[in-house]
Amino acid sequence: MSSHFVRMVSKKEKLMDEIMIKEKIEKGRAWLRTGYGEEDHPDYQTDQQLKKKQPPLVKEAMSENVIGLPTDFEGIEVETDFLTIVNRRSSHRVYTGESMSLKQLSYLLWCIQGVKEIRGKSYATLRTVPCGGARHPFETYMAIQNVEGLKDGLYHYLPMGHKIELLKEPEDLKGFIGTSLMGQVWAEKGNVVFYFSIVFYRSEWRYGIYAHRGLMTDAGHITENLYLALTALGLGGCAIGAVDGRYCDQVFGLDGEEESIVYAMPSGTVSEEDRQKEQDFYAFVKEQGL
Ligand SMILES: Cc1cc2nc3c(=O)[nH]c(=O)nc-3n(C[C@H](O)[C@H](O)[C@H](O)COP(=O)(O)O)c2cc1C
């Protein structure tokens, strides 16, 4: 093969790459834009409009190992000044490895997905976070280690009744955490890594082809509440977009078709003394003169 031909091919391949990248970016932008006609389907009716049966509001327990959570938050040490909490909130990636209490975990779960009320007979759950159409299509899974009173393992939150269930006790829980977050091994020291899945049809039943953009908006409400609740408790966490959803689905036993993990957030006990270690994550900013 002549070097000229090789040059031609590699140039063409580069061009193809650029076209593909442009297409993917355009697809992403189109998915986000509204009012540009892409979403115009005047005859379209969602399953709710077609009077199809509504899917369940929450996922049932998958195991027999159900554990009730404390609901009395009296006596828990918590910052209550809202502005202090908002100003203190930041991402924490360094955890001390000390234990977290069950009350603290219970408080966090209540703040991110707690069910306060049912709208109608069983039309919707009203929770501690807002959600488009009150569809609340999220399920919360957790990798838990060093939480007082709980075995280390993989858990699922049952918002009706405010309980959790133990799903599995993997031998290498830390290994699971690191791999599930695309090699972000710092998270392995966290007490609770939250994994959020979406049960797609819960939202699609109401919003059909328009459901998907809003799902990611709603995911943000959950992690922001989690950030604020962690801060109020003097704990820390970090939202994670770099999640290996397929791997998480396999390990938590989700089908990946109807339900898939899309977002995560490690959390744990933190110390003011680790401030410098936290800042080291962004040492490259100074090094590269950014
Ligand atoms: C949607 C989303 C995805 C994120 N993904 C990651 C991630 O994969 N890894 C990480 O270290 N931080 C991640 N972060 C944390 C951000 O880097 C962090 O919020 C940002 O640097 C601002 O810092 P602050 O939260 O302390 O204000 C993510 C945050 C959000 C909201």
10-residue mean pLDDT series, the chain (290 residues): 50 75 92 79 91 97 96 92 98 97 97 97 97 97 97 98 97 98 97 98 95 93 98 98 98 98 98 92 91
What integer pLDDT is reported at residue 227 of this predicted model? Answer: 98
Residue 288 has which token pair? 């590269």
For the chain, the domains span 1-28, 69-280
**By alpha-carbon position, which residue is closest to atom 29 of ligand 1?**
239
Q: Which residues on adjacent β-strands are paired with residue 152?
A: none
Which of 94, 189, 218, 240 has the most ligand 1 atoms within 8 A of CB, as the residue to mutate? Answer: 240
Work out which ligand 1 atom sits closest to the CA atom of 243: 8
**Distances, alpha carbon 282 to alpha carbons 92, 186, 277, 278, in Å:** 12, 14, 10, 8
What integer pLDDT is reported at residue 16 of this predicted model? Answer: 72
Q: Which residues of 128-148 are buried (b: 16+ CB within 10 A; e: fewer)?
A: bbebbbbbbbbbbbbbbbbbe
User: Residues lining ligand 1, judged by CB closer than 6 Å?
Assistant: 90-91, 93, 184, 238-242
Residue 11 has which token pair? 């140039």
**Residue 192 Cα, ligand 1 centroid: separation in angstroms?**
17
**Residue 238 Cα, ligand 1 centroid: separation in angstroms?**
6
Between the two ends of the chain, the Cα-to-Cα distance in Å is 44
**By alpha-carbon position, which residue is closest to atom 6 of ligand 1?**
240
**By alpha-carbon position, which residue is closest to atom 31 of ligand 1?**
239
**Residue 129 Cα, ligand 1 centroid: separation in angstroms?**
20
What integer pLDDT is reported at residue 1 of this predicted model? Answer: 41
What integer pLDDT is reported at residue 22 of this predicted model? Answer: 93
**By alpha-carbon position, which residue is closest to atom 23 of ligand 1?**
91
Q: Which residues on adjacent β-strands are paired with residue 165?
A: 66, 156
What integer pLDDT is reported at residue 3 of this predicted model? Answer: 47
**Distances, alpha carbon 215 to alpha carbons 114, 198, 209, 211, 251, in Å:** 18, 8, 12, 7, 23
**Residue 261 Cα, ligand 1 centroid: separation in angstroms?**
17
Which of 184, 231, 238 has the most ligand 1 atoms within 8 A of CB, as the residue to mutate? Answer: 238
Q: Which residues on adjacent β-strands are paired with residue 261?
A: 197
Burial class (CB in 10 A: 0-12, 13-18, 19+), 83: exposed
The correct CATH number of 69-280 out of 3.40.605.10, 3.40.50.300, 3.40.109.10, 3.40.50.1000 is: 3.40.109.10
**Residue 262 Cα, ligand 1 centroid: separation in angstroms?**
15
Q: How far apart are CA 180 and CA 85, in angstroms?
A: 29
Q: How far apart are CA 54 and CA 123, in angstroms?
A: 8
What integer pLDDT is reported at residue 14 of this predicted model? Answer: 66
Residue 139 has which token pair? 């399920």
**By alpha-carbon position, which residue is closest to atom 7 of ligand 1?**
240
Which of 85, 91, 226 has the most ligand 1 atoms within 8 A of CB, as the residue to mutate? Answer: 91
